[in-house]
């Protein structure tokens, strides 16, 4: 039986929506989730607003196996993700003593001020995610994985989260490039999709041709579908 694990990604940050910050995290997350057999099914981009954070978490947490978030866990006033996640899960925020000690060990006792302690204020049920870059940890609570928005820090936290995640079967893929435009192959692709419902078929135009990507959990079916299309000849 195929084991399917699904996920959603909530990207939090006014700077993303305003265009001030160019996103790098979605591409990294999508590629790395595929590699471990977790299917990314939905992405939402939302502002640093408590209501806007709570709503999608409550909407999605029972729909998918995991929800990944980035952004809003720093030391400033607009970093409200930890508190918002806690409220979404009917949890409370506490000063996590392990996270506090990590900050003290990294910055020194005299340099851990109120703002930095804010990064140790986490939901009471949080499991810490290591941050090898700046030490301030991300966290996982229930099926929500909460990470920083800075790409290199996010990647460290994501790698740390893998030990807590359940992996499914990986989606296999094959690509076929044809030197022909999409309109000439549209009917054949529609027919093929009908014949092979277990294969997802996507077509992507490029200069002078079309790239067709076949994806499936089932290798034999994937190969059969690919072979049929690859043997077609177009004038």
Q: Could you read off the pLDDT of 68-95 as tens digits, one per residue?
A: 999 999 999 989 999 999 999 999 999 9
Rounded Cα–Cα distance for residues 161 and 155 (Å): 10
Q: Could you read off the pLDDT of 174-216 as tens digits, one per residue?
A: 999 999 999 999 999 999 999 999 999 999 999 989 999 999 9
Asked if 167 and 36 touch (Cβ cutoff 8 Å), the reply is: yes
Is the predicted pLDDT of residue 16 greater than 80, yes or no?
yes
CB atoms near residue 229 (< 10 Å): 17
- Is residue 92 packed enough to be buried (19+ CB in 10 Å), middle (13-18) or exposed (0-12)? exposed
CA distances, 126 to each of 45, 116, 231 (Å): 23, 18, 53
Helix (H, G, I), strand (E, B), or coil: what is residue 176?
A: strand
Bridge pairing between strands 38-46 and 5-12 = parallel
Strand partners, 121: 95
pLDDT at 152: 97
Nearest Cα residue to 162 out of 73, 32, 3: 32
Is the predicted pLDDT of residue 233 greater than 90, yes or no?
no
DSSP 46: E
Q: Could you read off the pLDDT of 94-144 as tens digits, one per residue?
A: 999 999 999 999 999 999 999 999 999 999 999 999 999 999 999 999 999
pLDDT category of residue 235 using cuts at 50, 70 and 90: low
Residue count of the chain, please give it. Answer: 235
Is the predicted pLDDT of residue 147 greater than 80, yes or no?
yes
**In angstroms, how far is CA 46 from the centroid of its own chain?**
14
Helix (H, G, I), strand (E, B), or coil: what is residue 219?
A: helix
Is the predicted pLDDT of residue 234 greater than 80, yes or no?
no
């Amino acid at each position: 039986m195929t084991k399917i694990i699904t996920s959603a990604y909530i990207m939090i940050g006014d700077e993303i929506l305003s265009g001030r910050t160019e996103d790098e995290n979605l591409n990294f997350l999508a590629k790395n989730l595929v590699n471990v057999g977790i299917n990314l099914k939905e992405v939402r981009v939302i502002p640093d607003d408590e209501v806007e954070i709570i709503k999608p978490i409550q909407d999605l947490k029972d729909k998918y196996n995991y929800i990944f978030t980035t952004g809003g866990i720093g030391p400033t006033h607009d970093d409200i993700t930890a508190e918002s996640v806690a409220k979404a899960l009917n949890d409370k925020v506490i000063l996590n003593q392990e996270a506090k000690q990590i900050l003290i060990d990294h910055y020194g006792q005299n340099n851990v001020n109120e703002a930095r302690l804010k990064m140790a204020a986490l939901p009471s049920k949080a499991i810490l995610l290591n941050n090898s870059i700046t030490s301030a940890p991300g966290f996982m609570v229930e099926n929500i994985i909460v990470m920083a928005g800075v790409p290199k820090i996010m990647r460290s936290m994501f790698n740390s989260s893998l030990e807590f995640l359940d992996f499914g079967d990986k989606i296999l893929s094959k690509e076929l490039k044809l030197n022909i435009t999409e309109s000439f192959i549209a009917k054949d692709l529609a027919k093929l999709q009908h014949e092979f419902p277990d294969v997802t078929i996507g077509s992507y135009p490029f200069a002078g041709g079309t790239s067709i990507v076949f994806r499936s959990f089932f290798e034999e079916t994937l190969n059969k579908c690919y072979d049929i299309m690859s043997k077609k000849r177009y004038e």
